[in-house]
Amino acid sequence: MDLTHEIEKRKTFAIISHPDAGKTTLTEKLLLFGGAIRQAGTVKGKKSGKFATSDWMKVEQERGISVTSSVMQFDFDGYKINILDTPGHEDFSEDTYRTLLAVDSAVMVIDAAKGIEPQTLKLFKVCRMRGIPIFTFINKLDRMGKEPFELLEEIESTLEIETYPMTWPIGMGQSFFGIINRKDRTINPYREADKLTLDDDYELEEDHAIQADEAFQTAIEEFMLVEEAGDAFDREKISKGDLTPVFFGSALSTFGIEEFLDTYVDYAPMPTPRKTKAETEVAPTNENFSGFIFKIQANMDPRHRDRLAFLRVVSGKFTRGMEVTLARTGRKSKLNRATMFMADDTETVNEAFAGDIIGLYDTGNFQIGDTLYHGSKVEFEELPRFTPELFMKVSAKNVLKQKHFYKGIEQLVQEGAIQYYKTMHTNQPILGAVGQLQFEVFEHRMKNEYNTDVIMEPVGKKIARWIENEEAITDAMNSARANLVLDRYDNQVFLFENEFAMRWFSEKYPEIKLYNLL
């Protein structure tokens, strides 16, 4: 069997969006197209997906579904497509960001009425910094929303990326009539009845031939403008994430999805190489199996300590039972229990190829960022750290349990569940996170796995900035509004009260060079 052929068939992406933009609906429709599910509603039901944060543990236990819906594979047009879920809502955590490290492209779903929203922006920035190609799906055209030009303008100015509309909408809301497909220059009518007003073989050059209403006229004029004045198509720019192909549609009505998929499989990259610590690259077609762990899902049931580690296959082929080495420790083990994820099921995986994601059952051997390989040694570069936004002081309720307390923190920090900081002189532990959920998971796991009750005291939302020239810091710079703390590597970090405090600081101390992580 031809390894290269298998790998070229693979497309691995994540959907980035703000809650409610339509990520779940789009995922479902993509799976329907691929024949992976038979009916909508199989992917995490919206209603069951909405829950209060405090219910999280219970829900997590009940819905094994959060594991199954983390990665889904389906076939389309000869391709094997892997969709990775980027948890949002109350589930938002560093895992959400790290998922983006395991994909080769991203699909950005935007609600046409809302435009760019905060969570989309955050995830987009990570894609941009990693040079991940981005495809944009503007959703909910069946409702009234912003004008298409306004949306493109918003994407271009807010996200600093060029846009290339692949489809163009004809009207919206009640008078949404369809989309113009730029690639093959056809019109796809929204309703069956609209077909009657259209000539199926309609060519743009023959626009006198059509008796269209106002919506068609406007759309065609706009479309011409896009053709004349819009950004030029540039495959190279797409692959670097400098230009995003844009699609309009309605996920709910399964409209515009096929146009999207057709183009997506054409332009989305096949599995890309990954950098190693030795500053070399491992190509996906390298015969030797290798991969890295980007997410560890702890089992919330205290009777079952096993965890599921998600591994992105970087090169070669995985086969069940194969012997691999964990680069960090040099330890060898056989991978007998690996799963792959289908829409409504997990199944034992017998083989997987570069680009695929497999789940490995783990009893505590793996950490986030770990490399597994077969054959000659490789170790992938460290996964980037993300700038936390929320902080919490933490201490052990029972002072006699300090040892357990620090052991628990150390392991959870290593695992990537939470970030560790401490106050400058008193060494009081402070936890950092990108989402509230991380604190709750921390508290729960400290109690269940390390038998330690903790006291958590919110420090609140802060802007964290690292310092290029630490030697220039003086005691006078440390204040309540610009609080100096240490990270787990003993680097100094300022926690600013807000944007204003940060600007004020930078003006007062221009010699201090601040930076943030991804």
Q: Which residues are annotated as a binding site for GTP?
A: 17-24, 85-89, 139-142
Q: Residue 22 Cβ, how far from ligand G4P at the closest point, in Å?
A: 3
Structure tokens at 344: 């409504």
Residue span binding ligand G4P (CB under 6 A) among the ranges 19-27, 292-300, 434-442, 460-468: 19-27
Contacting ligand G4P (CB under 6 A), which of 84, 101, 251, 431?
251
**Residue closer to ligand G4P (CB basis): 79 or 190:** 190
**Residue closer to ligand G4P (CB basis): 107 or 360:** 107
Q: Residue 506 Cβ, how far from ligand G4P at the closest point, in Å?
A: 36
**Residue closer to ligand G4P (CB basis): 80 or 140:** 140
**Residue closer to ligand G4P (CB basis): 48 or 402:** 48
The 3-state DSSP class for residue 499 equals helix
Contacting ligand G4P (CB under 6 A), which of 99, 136, 188, 250?
250
Q: Residue 389 Cβ, how far from ligand G4P at the closest point, in Å?
A: 21
**Residue closer to ligand G4P (CB basis): 188 or 286:** 188
Count of CB atoms within 10 A of residue 355's CB?
Answer: 27
Contacting ligand G4P (CB under 6 A), which of 20, 258, 262, 389?
20
CA dist 135 and 260 (Å) reads: 9
**Residue closer to ligand G4P (CB basis): 260 or 505:** 260
Q: Residue 284 Cβ, how far from ligand G4P at the closest point, in Å?
A: 30
- The yes or no reply on residue 63 touching ligand G4P (CB under 6 A) is no
Q: Residue 251 Cβ, how far from ligand G4P at the closest point, in Å?
A: 4
- The yes or no reply on residue 116 touching ligand G4P (CB under 6 A) is no
Residue span binding ligand G4P (CB under 6 A) among the ranges 22-30, 149-157, 368-376, 474-482: 22-30
Q: Taking the alpha carbons of 441, 442, 447, 453 in that order, is the dihedral positive or negative?
A: negative
Render 457-481 in DSSP notation, one character per residue. EEEEE-EEEEES-GGG--GGG--SS
Would strands 345-348 and 351-353 be described as parallel, antiparallel, or unpaired? unpaired
Residue 4 has, within 13 A of its CA and on its CB side, a CA count of: 0
CA dist 123 and 164 (Å) reads: 20
Q: What are phi and psi of 480, to 5 degrees?
A: -65, -30
- The yes or no reply on residue 339 touching ligand G4P (CB under 6 A) is no
What residue has token string 């508290």? 443
CA dist 126 and 100 (Å) reads: 8
- The yes or no reply on residue 99 touching ligand G4P (CB under 6 A) is no
Residue span binding ligand G4P (CB under 6 A) among the ranges 20-28, 52-60, 396-404, 477-485: 20-28
Contacting ligand G4P (CB under 6 A), which of 67, 210, 252, 477?
252
Structure tokens at 260: 């999207």
Structure tokens at 54: 């405090």
Amino acid 286 reads N
**Residue closer to ligand G4P (CB basis): 9 or 23:** 23
Render 82-140 in DSSP notation, one character per residue. EEE----GGG-SHHHHHHGGG-SEEEEEEETTT-S-HHHHHHHHHHHHHT--EEEEEE-
**Residue closer to ligand G4P (CB basis): 26 or 309:** 26
**Beta partners for 454?**
396
**Residue closer to ligand G4P (CB basis): 89 or 447:** 89
What residue has token string 């970087």? 314
CA dist 16 and 14 (Å) reads: 6
By rule CB under 6 A, what string of x and - marks binding of each residue 125-144 to ligand G4P? Answer: --------------xx-xx-
Are the C-beta atoms of residues 73 and 340 closer than 8 Å to each other?
yes
Q: Residue 89 Cβ, how far from ligand G4P at the closest point, in Å?
A: 7
Question: What angle, rounded to 10 degrees, do the helices at 436-450 and 402-415 form?
Answer: 130
Total residues in contact with ligand G4P, by rule CB under 6 A: 16
Chain center to CA of 440: 21
Contacting residues toward ligand G4P, per CB under 6 A:
17, 19-25, 46, 139-140, 142-143, 250-252
